[in-house]
Structure 1
Amino acid sequence: MYDRLNGGAKPRRSRRKAQDAAVLPFTQAFVAKRPTYGYRRITALLNRELRTQGLPTVNHKRLYRMMARNDLLPERSGCDRPERSHDGKIIMMRSNLRWCSDALEFTCWNGGVIRLAFVIDTHDREIIAWRAVPQPHRVLV
């Protein structure tokens, strides 16, 4: 028990290398025929073929690992995202073009709640209006 908890155990090895070698030619043929298909679609095609031959089917996670080891996965699309161009600052050319609003609650020591709502001009960060009420109020909405 001590050896197992402290990393003395040997790492597990794949027990299906013989089955992987038997399935790999089918996988390579499907990938050659349909190079844009991912591992899930290849798994569906492969399992359909294996069922017709009376062979056991393959789990999609196992096929993913096998395809990754043999460089059979298609190139990922959408990975070349440009850097974020918006840094969170809103800049307007003059006042009264764009406003932002927010609301928050303060809990008092006596258990009461004060709700505060306000509107800010994004150009000069000036608070245009604010309202604080002790209970939900339709003016805040």
Structure 2
Amino acid sequence: MTAVCETFGVARSNIAERVKHRSAKTRGRPPLADHDLVDDIKAIIADMPTYGYRRVHAILRRKASSEKRSWPNAKRIYRVMKVHGLLLQRHTGATGTRRHDGRVAVEQSNLRWCSDGFEIGCDNKEKVRVAFALDCCDREAIAHVATTEGIKSEDVQAEAFVKTFKRDYVSVNHIPDAETVIAQLPLWFEHYNTLHPHKALGYQSPREFLNRQTEI
């Protein structure tokens, strides 16, 4: 450094001080992401606490698109959620899914449907049994019935929906008794159809995907 300073006719102490300040600026954690984006993310996961960064990004994209403005990409959402401790914990446990043979999904709506049933255990030990039908293309839940009586139905084609419904709706809502659960089911199904971002649909909701199909 001494030779360089003598060549350019500058004081060595001045250069050393500048290098010191520059090094200090590069240390430490990067600045936090803007507060508006963090607030938007927190609002989404407050309503849907089981949503990961990809579904959060899909909700933000949908909102920004409706307001005719740009939206942050998925990588930025991931970074922001990671910095603020908002990412979901990775699930490492084994899953007991059944084996699926053959292709279930189809390329167009209203060609193939599947049905299944599942059970919701209430806090007071009552059980609500739900049966439903799905479109195998757009994943829209076409109809459902709920009862405290027995429903026998098993279809591996709708297994993913059951997992999603129990995780994103049943597990995060109050389910004190059968009457309360049955009253909430129409709202949950409507939210799923209208707002829930689906991975197989490019993180569009079933209704968004269906509307895009009709526009083509």
TM-score greater than 0.5 by the shorter chain: no
TM-score normalised to structure 1 length:
0.42
Higher helix share: 2
Normalising by structure 2, report the TM-score: 0.28
More strand by share: 1
Point out the structure with max Rg over C-alpha.
Answer: 1
User: Which structure ranks higher in relative contact order (CA pairs < 8 Å, sequence separation ≥ 6)?
Assistant: 2
